[in-house]
């Protein structure tokens, strides 16, 4: 018995279970605090990055505000009344078909930019859409590629291509008639112009035919603008009513939309 007692005395006393549990809880709390601090630091960094990303250079603000006001008046006093008359004459299915047709004939712009960005799958879809809609969709008046084959259109333009290759967006610009833009997207418009197939219809040195080609191109753009406005009447009005400062809201919405498209 004495031998057993001696052995028991020699063994180190075990820790109290209650103390063990208390120590474990404290350690977990300490770990959580450290994790919380790390998470807060990461959130702060993300916030700073987002804040930096959202910074929009607007050195031409007085000019831009003037152009914004001009385009606003242009919409209410010219574009909207024309679109309303257009809407009264043409039923919605016809206007949707016109939208489809214009989208189909401008496929080369999207296709080229998909290729330039190395988006092979999207390029294949654009090519397939063009072939299917041209042949089976009555030259594109009906979007059968989307309806029956789930082939969605991919809006890629030269401004997005420039952004894809790292060209900075530059400062904000509001152009009369065209609306919000930036330096990069303004350069992109030039690229889109030269990739538009209608620029090359009947290429000739004859100035009369060149003017006809230019008139066709302008007519298609004007039709597109009026047609789109007729399909979205009320959207701009709602935007203005919900904005404290429509100019600032338009600027932010434009940059957010373009940045999102480039990331897609």
Is there a domain that residue 212 lies in? yes
Q: Tokens 């712009």 identify what position?
A: 109
| 128, 246: one domain | yes
Separation of alpha carbons 7 and 12, rounded Å: 10
Per-residue pLDDT reduced to its tens digit, 19-71: 555 555 555 556 555 555 455 544 544 444 454 446 899 999 999 999 999 99
Per-residue pLDDT reduced to its tens digit, 194-227: 887 766 665 555 555 555 566 777 888 899 999 9
| 175, 196: one domain | yes
Is there a domain that residue 2 lies in? no
| 67, 32: one domain | no
Is there a domain that residue 87 lies in? yes
Separation of alpha carbons 208 and 211, rounded Å: 5
| 148, 175: one domain | yes
Which H or E run includes 80? helix 80-89
Domain of 118 in residue numbering reads as 58-263
| 168, 41: one domain | no
Domain count, the chain: 2
Q: What pTM was computed for the model? A: 0.75
Separation of alpha carbons 150 and 218, rounded Å: 32
Q: Residue 122 burial by CB count (10 A; 0-12/13-18/19+): exposed, middle or buried? A: buried
Q: What distance, in Å, lies between the first and last C-alpha atoms of the chain?
A: 81
């Amino acid at each position: 018995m004495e031998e057993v007692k001696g052995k028991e005395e020699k063994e180190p006393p075990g820790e109290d279970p209650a103390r063990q549990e208390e120590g474990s809880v404290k350690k977990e709390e300490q770990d959580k605090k450290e994790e919380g601090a790390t998470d807060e630091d990461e959130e702060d960094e993300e916030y700073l990055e987002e804040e930096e990303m959202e910074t929009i250079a607007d050195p031409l603000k007085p000019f831009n505000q003037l152009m914004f006001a001009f385009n606003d008046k242009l919409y209410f006093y010219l574009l909207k009344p024309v679109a309303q008359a257009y809407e009264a004459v043409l039923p919605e299915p016809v206007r949707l078909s016109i939208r489809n047709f214009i989208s189909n004939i401008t496929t080369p712009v999207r296709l080229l930019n998909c290729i330039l960005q190395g988006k092979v799958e999207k390029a294949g879809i654009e090519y397939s859409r063009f072939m299917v809609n041209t042949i089976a969709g009555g030259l594109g008046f009906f979007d059968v590629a989307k309806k029956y084959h789930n082939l969605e259109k991919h809006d890629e333009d030269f401004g997005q291509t420039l952004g894809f290759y790292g060209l900075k967006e530059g400062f904000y610009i509001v152009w009369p008639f065209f609306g919000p833009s930036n330096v990069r997207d303004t350069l992109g418009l030039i690229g889109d112009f030269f990739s538009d197939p209608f620029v090359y219809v009947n290429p000739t040195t004859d100035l009369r035919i060149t003017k006809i080609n230019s008139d066709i191109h302008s007519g298609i753009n004007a039709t597109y603008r009026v047609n789109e406005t007729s399909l979205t009447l009320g959207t701009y009005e709602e935007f203005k009513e919900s904005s404290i400062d429509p100019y600032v809201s338009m600027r932010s919405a434009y940059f957010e939309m373009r940045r999102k498209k480039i990331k897609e």
